[in-house]
A = this chain, B = another copy of it.
């Protein structure tokens, strides 16, 4: 069997394991106060061109989303996102568990627009009953989105502007950020994100690390006393250095970008190959997730050799499936998959 069902099938890129082995018997302080975390923070700040940024390392995506959102919202506020947003769909109610409503704004492609945010805010602000309603207090986006799409710099700038106009923070879930930054035609860079977002994270779990998400607050002070909040959510890692070592490695010699670029290269090759074979795409995506429409009979056959992700029924005879590449995808598996299609 060859595997294309997700981008977290393997462990970590070998450079990370090597570094974990090398540093293993060093004795360090816990909870992110060690020199590896410090070094990783410096390198991330440089990559973001943001020398003051406050950086925290958390373990996983849902945990990071719930911790950041709870920290940013007042108790009576909610968060706007896309209907397909991770927080709306696949976090088992983690945001609601922290006491907050998620507002899905209209969206077809996993992105939300400045115009929709503006409309939602205006509708709220002019509603005579607004004191009986949940106040929209922040915007959550993913880049790439759960549908593999990307914001343009223009779209991101517009979102940022509208958020600043209304005084609400813009939070970017970057669980797959590397695959967005290295997409062939994107015009959005890491420094752009650091300029336009109030808080975002650089995903490790899906981009070469064993686990870990690096939360970046470009302008420190956005969240007061963030560490006790992280601790209260059970989201601080005792041996924080494990996160430090991983991100320090990922941000040494551009490793994060290199391995993300590999995934994109594999994804582009896969897409071209699929197009050459006449495959129908459900959605145009410039990143490491490809969504295609398959005839059910062919799909049954394919399933004997390939593990894919089922997305949804397309119609009675066809199904939408997803193939993912990652930092770990081998070119021979792409060739094999294309042969099988």
Residues of A in contact with B (beta carbons under 8 Å apart): 3, 6, 8-12, 14, 17, 20-21, 23-28, 30, 59-67, 70-71, 74-78, 89-94, 96-97, 99-102, 128-129, 131-135, 205-206, 210-211, 224-225, 227-229, 231-239, 241-242, 310, 328
Contacts and interface: CB of A to CB of B under 8 A. Distances in A.
A42 to B, nearest CB: 21
Contacts of A97: 75, 99, 232-233
Query: Chain A contact residues: over half helix, strand or loop, or mixed?
Result: loop
Contacts of A328: 25
B11 A232 contact: no
A100 B93 contact: yes
Contacts of A21: 17, 21
Contacts of A135: 225, 228
Contact of A59 (B59, B133, B227): B59
B27 A231 contact: no
26 contacts: A9-B28, A10-B25, A10-B26, A11-B23, A11-B24, A12-B24, A14-B24, A59-B237, A62-B231, A62-B236, A70-B75, A75-B75, A75-B232, A89-B132, A91-B132, A91-B231, A91-B234, A92-B131, A92-B134, A93-B134, A96-B134, A97-B99, A97-B232, A128-B310, A210-B239, A234-B235
Report which residue of A62, A76, A99, A205 has the largest number of chain B beta carbons within 10 angstroms of its beta carbon: A76
Contacts of A229: 75-76, 92
A277 to B, nearest CB: 24
A129 B3 CA distance: 18
A328 B28 CA distance: 13
Given A21-B17, A59-B59, A234-B67, A131 B227 contact: yes
Nearest to A104: B104
A135 B9 CA distance: 26
Given A20-B17, A211-B238, A225 B91 contact: no
Given A8-B239, A93-B134, A233 B234 contact: yes
Nearest to A205: B238
A93 B101 contact: yes
A224 B134 CA distance: 15
B132 A231 contact: yes
Contacts of A74: 224-225
Nearest to A333: B27
Contacts of A90: 129, 132-133
